[in-house]
Amino acid sequence: IRPRKTARPQRPAGQPAAPPPAPAPLPQPAPEKSPEPQKGTATGLPLPRFAALRADEVNLRAGPGTRYPIEWVYKRRDLPVEIEREFEVWRLVSDPEGVKGWVHEATLTGRRSFVVTGEQRAMRRTADDHAAPVAYLKPGVVGRLLSCAAGADWCQVQVGEYRGYLKRGDFWGSYAGEAVD
């Protein structure tokens, strides 16, 4: 189907042409607004947020429900995950490698943990690059995140019986500048 042609209105002879239309206004930047933190629909807690696997075996599913296939079985208690969305009792999580899927809320705990990233890292006695090392942690080591001061570069951590400090950039499980108690 072709569009129908319409007749162009004719200007009577001797009449001046109408002035050209005003130029379209330039787009103005949106007013700056502080972004409101998103809240989970089931819990009202902030999203995204970190949690940890509660059990030695946790099923990662393709969707929010038992009717969805299991895509992965985690066998690592305390592995940190990032909760991105909530649907009833199901949580869309992302693991340290970026794998995403749905887990049941009962398989998660709010207790904070971390996983060492990159290369071997020194856990220090105090929050100082020159402090004595307490332990050397290999990539993939999982531990407890005890505390991080708001805006601080260092967090107090525990791996087994060892307690000390790690830089935030040395592990996955905390947001930059986030306070963890």
pLDDT at residue number 13: 53
Model confidence at 135, pLDDT cuts 50, 70, 90, reads very high
CATH of domain 114-172: 2.30.30.40
Average pLDDT, integer, range 115-139: 98
Look at residue 81 and tell me whether its pLDDT is greater than 50: yes
Domain boundaries, the chain: 38-111, 114-172
Which H, E and C letters describe the chain, residue by residue? CCCCCCCCCCCCCCCCCCCCCCCCCCCCCCCCCCCCCEECCCCCCEECEEEEECCCCEEEECCCCCCCCEEEEECCCCCEEEEEEEECCEEEEECCCCCEEEEEHHHEECCCEEEECCCCEEEECCCCCCCCEEEEECCCCEEEEEEECCCCCEEEEEECCEEEEEEHHHEECCCCCCCEC
State the average pLDDT over residues 74-83: 98
Let me know: does 78 contact 140? Beta carbons within 8 Å. no
CATH topology agreement for domains 38-111 and 114-172: yes
- Could you read off the pLDDT of 104-120 as tens digits, one per residue? 999 999 999 999 999 99
What pLDDT shows up at residue 134? 98
Quote the pLDDT of residue 35: 58
Average of per-residue pLDDT across 76-89: 98
* Pick from 9-13, 37-41, 44-48, 121-125: least confident: 9-13
pLDDT the model gives residue 21? 57
> What's the pLDDT at 138?
98
The answer, yes or no, to whether residue 47 has pLDDT greater than 80, is: yes
Per-residue pLDDT, 29? 44
Asked if the 38-111 domain carries CATH number 2.40.30.10, the reply is no
76 band by pLDDT with thresholds 50, 70 and 90: very high
Contacts of 161 by beta carbon, 8 Å cutoff, 6+ apart: none
Residue 19: predicted pLDDT: 57
The confidence score (pLDDT) of residue 37 equals 73
pLDDT surpassing 90 at residue 162: yes
Q: 137 pLDDT exceeds 70?
A: yes
